[in-house]
Amino acid sequence: AQKITQTQPGMFVQEKEAVTLDCTYDTSDQSYGLFWYKQPSSGEMIFLIYQGSYDEQNATEGRYSLNFQKARKSANLVISASQLGDSAMYFCAMREFDIQGAQKLVFGQGTRLTINP
Amino acid sequence: ETGVTQTPRHLVMGMTNKKSLKCEQHLGHNAMYWYKQSAKKPLELMFVYNFKEQTENNSVPSRFSPECPNSSHLFLHLHTLQPEDSALYLCASSFYPSGTSGEHNEQFFGPGTRLTVL
């Protein structure tokens, strides 16, 4: 069963508009973490924002915010005032821990975001 | 050098070749990871090393052989690969242990090695 689901293979948005990228997850753990990464064409994965399962407030980092709805198991990324440089692949990931406490990231399929001028 | 570096950035090899991918992190982390990113598939975790000890091997074929000589360096040795092994191989690092869900402890990624197996 897929643990991270990103239902939007591609999104096209006009520059300066806000965009929401969807992410739903599946876990039976009480303690978990959710990440969003950006992958430009250069290939490097760039960390954007993090939400812990016990965090009561939605995470925000500059133009990025995370709409965390725990009961619905969704963690959507909102990018405000989009810029041309925001064009990239965006991945949602969930952190799991093994019995030794090491973290593993489980990624979704990604959403390709294109910002049009 | 800063962050996580990977060499080479591009590699083309035949199925009978032996090659190695190198990853180095300059962040003082003590956990390192190899991921495989194939076209149209999510990133797949291959190997995890914590304090130089391998703690995860996600059913990866033996033609991929990791090596972690110290907490700053990670290698992926390749031999007798198949064309379906062509992919972007990403290295990442983080702190270990990871703490509670309240701590970010995000993984920092390198730029990847684009591997093509002919």
CA-based torsion, A46, A28, A60, B40: positive or negative: positive
Q: What is the 3-state secondary structure (H, E, C) of B52-78?
A: CEEEEECCCCCCEEEEEEECCEEEEEE
Which residue of chain B comes nearest to A53, CA vs CA? B101
The mean pLDDT value of chain A amounts to 93
Task: With CB atoms and an 8 Å threshold, state whether A53 touches B101.
Answer: yes
Query: What pLDDT is attached to residue B101?
Result: 44
Task: With CB atoms and an 8 Å threshold, state whether A103 touches B102.
Answer: no
Q: Indicate if the pLDDT at residue A106 is higher than 60.
A: yes
**More confident site: B15 or B104:** B15
pLDDT digits (tens, 9 = 90+) for B83-115: 999 999 999 999 876 554 446 788 999 999 999
Task: With CB atoms and an 8 Å threshold, state whether B106 touches A108.
Answer: no
Task: With CB atoms and an 8 Å threshold, state whether B102 touches A95.
Answer: no
At residue A86, the 3 state secondary structure works out as helix
> Which residue from B90, B104, B109 is facing A50, i.e. has the nearest CB?
B104
**More confident site: B105 or B20:** B20
- Nearest 5°: phi and psi at A30? -85, -30
pLDDT digits (tens, 9 = 90+) for A17-42: 999 999 999 998 888 899 999 999 98
| Interface residue A104 vs chain B (CB under 8 A) | yes
Mean pLDDT of A59-78: 96
